[in-house]
Amino acid sequence: MTISREYARMTYTASFAAWACKVLDNRILAHLQKKRRENRKIDPYAEVDPEAREIGTGRDINPELKRRLAECLRQLCRRNPRYARALNLHYQGYSTDEICDRTRTRPATLYSTLHKARAMLRECLETGGQQS
């Protein structure tokens, strides 16, 4: 369907067949990424080895660390919602292109945003959640 909609508007640098194959490849990859993301939402350990499933069941998570992390994420969201959103989308498994589309940024800007957000989160966790 995509090929039939776009072929008249395209100018081909190689051949129509090469362009059509690339469109098909991109659509298949996008579909697979979407399925993988959906599976992670249902079962976060879908691609993890079965022994790791039992380790990450929540029994071994330090409740104090979990509380501090949640508080630091709240602070990050209050200080800069854009940073929190980029971190959240990345954590959920979205690709760089998908995050850039949703946040209307370029990849270089996204990488910078993620770097700054992680640094702020790390600083918050190290200082015990106290704002500097």
What mean pLDDT, rounded, does the chain reach?
Answer: 78
Q: What is the pLDDT of residues 93-114, one digit of tens each?
A: 888 899 999 889 999 999 999 9
Which residue in 132, 129, 112 sits closest to 121, CA to CA?
129
Contact 76, 55 (CB under 8 A): no
This prediction has a pTM of 0.51
Q: What is the pLDDT of residues 70-85, one digit of tens each?
A: 888 888 888 988 998 8
Q: What is the pLDDT of residues 22-46, one digit of tens each?
A: 888 888 888 888 888 777 665 544 4
Residues 6+ apart with CB under 8 A from 114: 86, 87, 90
Q: What per-residue confidence (pLDDT) applies to 56?
A: 46
Instruction: Report the alpha-carbon distance of residue 102 to residue 88 in Å, rounded.
Output: 12
